Structure 1
């Protein structure tokens, strides 16, 4: 009865818990985005499909399963799940079975000879037992340990989601840049054809004594200048193709057959579905990771406080021991034991106090990091929105400039053939057209890249990944 009373008291005390209780922090985010784009429309989790390029979408989704960084993050997540199972096992009694056989001979001069042979002959000792023990979680140490393991799992999952988001954004960025380089190459080749036509016309006029050798030299120099742009563009295209191969966990050049055929730079629709700002706290992996780190640090404070208090462990054992194997199962060969054990820290030289102070400071650091992460996320979205809007305006202005330069080149070519102007005027207009066309392609590329950065800041992608 005394044992049962002690057990009941221990279980009732197990409801006690020391240490702070964790409560989810509030994310200080604006009620709505300061942007002209509709903010109430939900962000598409598969945001890469909003870029309107089926090949890009295929590459992103293949990278999610083939990328080695993503595989490494998934492995760390599996490790955290295993650690959670280990932490959860501490809440349950541990049961172990033991069995042993020994043949031995004791000293005739020793203090103990269970065989009764007084050391004159060897003997056999058979034993088998079932042992169990359970720590009564009086102060919540085990519960805080489990909570820390759960927070670590949430942290690792947020890190995995962050890697997936980074892989998607990097794959999309590399693809957009690749298509931009191919567009630059197409513009360069078109201007090279124009420059060669001008060179042929200038040589013809020189042969007929209409123009000078200077015009021929200028026309030839323009051809060489435009042609010189092609080699760097070809090298850049190869590097971007290799970068995409790496993102998909493949050897260099393995995607050449798929990517070498030029395609336009992805041009998504102008409006951007942003969702509401409060969704960032539940969607951005870095915010979720910081929140999980704060929860883990809070649990660590509880564990440190619980270490100041006694630990009560209940144990029991039942088994058999015999000098002959045939007697091992006899009722008379049984042995058993049960009872509690108490651990009480009396003097630790300041270790417990120092550990608690450290854990409290770590909790404060985690809280500061959470606030900083939320603020940084807010700024990142605002900057991405501003960049995207500015690039759209830039692209509109360049489109007008390209149109005007094309008309100027047509007019200059006509007047040059008529002999009304010299070739230097034609050359200047050709250079202006090439520059504005290249700038237009670069602007289209930067607009698509700004859209990718915006989606990354909004943290779409695999929200239900497990």
Structure 2
């Protein structure tokens, strides 16, 4: 009899495993709606252009700035946001293992002992002593249960869990890309601020020399008190510009320290010495349109979210159908320890259980409609994400080219301002012009020099933004 039951159980498990079907639609990777070619702005003479080739995985190394590369490497190792994203990824993987366990039978073992005495007035005393004395009871056994996944509910649940793992992976990729871009941007802005400080200090030196010259001319009777006051005011005005930039420089160093999970001012000694703004002059590889969906973590995340929503429809549909659970146990029970394991102490039970939804008041239908609505929302979200990515890339390309044109124009303006300042200083020393002309020309030079420093940094910042829009960097 025992062998017959075991054979029946094996046969039921085999038949139910092979005869199951999977409810709901199968996920299909959406078509890539991107255009066939990049609508990039053509490069001009003296400008860094773009080309359709593989995006540099370690694009920050292309700036040839060892300090920048070191900061990016450390940020990817120490950043707290990345550590949090990695923790969320491990949690999603653990949840996936938990869901996948439903595909396998659950087996439980138990061993028990009790010393007890039944009532003399009770209905039953397993010891046969009619409740007149205590007895020992030894028991143990194995229990097994398994849900026959006839409609693919468990398979779809595992599919949703897999998609959730992919979502967590892409979330980590997105955080990694953001950390890289933010580190590069803060570093470039720091170097730009330091260069701006150098420009102001240079102009401050020129203004102080002008003040000395004006005082000498006052002593000689050539200049007036008004011109001395104007020169002194010019020195004070230029000097006042130093404090905000010094504050901004300190804040940027602290921002980089935070990205690297370090205490405030931890990088002060390392980054306080001024350095040039990182520049990139080679042709920029922007990849192929078909690769954008594989590089951008937000597009990959939207695709995984659509996958999860599609598989959830199958779970909702499977809930309309009966659930069949096979369960059984094999064990022993004896009053004496010496009888444990004997043939007479054996016990077993085996049988299927069926749960059929008869009346749910529209709950199952509502759950199905909800999942279908979520799939529709995820599909629209995917299309929106792809379109937004295309816009961001196009905007970044335009910004990169425009920033180069502005930088070149400002470079010419600074050269003309410098020649004009040299000329007006000679004329002022000769007494042919008043100090107002000197102030006007020097202010114009200072404004254009500051704008040139900002524009030079903006070229590099727009390139960092382009690489961020292209989704390059997290692959490393």
TM-score by length of 1: 0.97
2:45: which partner in 1?
none
- The aligned residue for residue 343 of structure 1 is 355
Deviation at 1:10, TM superposition (A): 2.1
Which residue pairs with 2:17 in the alignment? 11
Aligned to 1:263: 275
Alpha-carbon distance in structure 1 between the residues aligned to 2:225 and 2:237: 18
- Structure 2 gaps, min length 5: 43-48
Of 220, 225, 237, the residue aligned with 1:225 is 237
Secondary structure of 2:349's partner? strand
Q: How many Å apart are 1:319 and its aligned residue?
A: 1.0
User: SS of the counterpart of 1:267?
Assistant: coil
* Structure 2 CA distance for aligned equivalents of residues 10 and 279 of structure 1: 43
Greater Cα offset, 25-34 or 150-159: 25-34
- 1:153-176 per-residue CA deviation (whole Å, 9 max, x = no partner) reads 000000000000011111111111
| CA–CA distance in structure 2, aligned partners of residues 177 and 5 of structure 1 | 71
Q: CA deviation at 1:3?
A: 5.5
**In the aligned structure 2, how far is the partner of 1:350 from the partner of 1:394?**
64
SS at match of 1:252: coil
Q: Tell whether 2:333 aligns with 1:321.
A: yes
Deviation at 1:90, TM superposition (A): 1.2
Aligned residue for 2:284, secondary structure, equals: coil
- The aligned residue for residue 98 of structure 1 is 110
Structure 1 unaligned regions, length at least 5: none
Quick one: which of 154, 168, 183 aligns to 1:156? Answer: 168
For the residue of structure 2 that corresponds to 1:385, the secondary structure is: helix
The 3-state SS of whatever aligns with 1:113 is: coil
- Among 307, 319, 322, the alignment partner of 1:307 is 319
RMSD: 1.3
Is structure 2 residue 23 aligned with structure 1 residue 32?
Answer: no
Provide the residue aligned with 2:79 in structure 1.
Answer: 67
**Judging changes above 3 Å, is the alpha-carbon distance between structure 1 residues 302 and 44 closer, same or farther for their aligned structure 2 residues?**
same
Matched, 1:367 2:362: no
**Which residue does the alignment assign to 2:202?**
190
How far off its partner does 1:183 sit?
0.3
Query: Which among 214, 232, 242 is matched to residue 226 of structure 2?
Result: 214
Per the alignment, residue 291 of structure 2 pairs with 279
Q: Does 1:110 align with 2:117?
A: no
How many Å apart are 1:271 and its aligned residue? 2.2
Aligned counterpart, 1:395: 407
1:107-161 C-alpha deviation (Å, 9 max, x unpaired): 2222222111111111111111011121111000010000000000000000000
SS in structure 1 opposite 2:103?
A: coil
- Measured after TM superposition, the shift of residue 8 of structure 1 is 4.5
How many residues of Structure 1 are paired with residues of Structure 2 in the alignment? Answer: 463
Distance in 1 of aligned mates of 2:444 and 2:112: 92
Does structure 2 retain, via aligned residues, the 8 Å contact 1:27–1:371? Answer: no
Provide, for residues 18-65 of structure 1, a one-character-per-residue CA deviation record: whole Å limited to 9, x for no partner: 111111111200112111244322101112112221111110110011
- SS of 2:138's partner is strand
Q: Aligned partners of 2:39, 2:207: CA distance in 1, in Å? A: 47
Residues in 2 aligned to 1:197 and 1:4: alpha-carbon distance in whole angstroms: 99
Q: CA 1:43 to 1:135, structure 2 compared with 1: closer, same or farther past 3 Å?
A: same
What SS is found at the alignment partner of 2:285? coil
Q: Hey, what's the Cα distance between the residues in 2 that align with 1:232 and 1:162?
A: 33
Match of 1:44 among 46, 56, 60: 56
Seen in structure 2, the aligned counterparts of structure 1 residues 65 and 3 have a Cα distance that, compared at 3 Å, is: closer
Deviation of 1:5 (Å) = 5.4
Partners of 2:159 and 2:10 lie apart in 1 by: 30
Mapped to 2, the partners of 1:134 and 1:3 lie a distance apart of 11
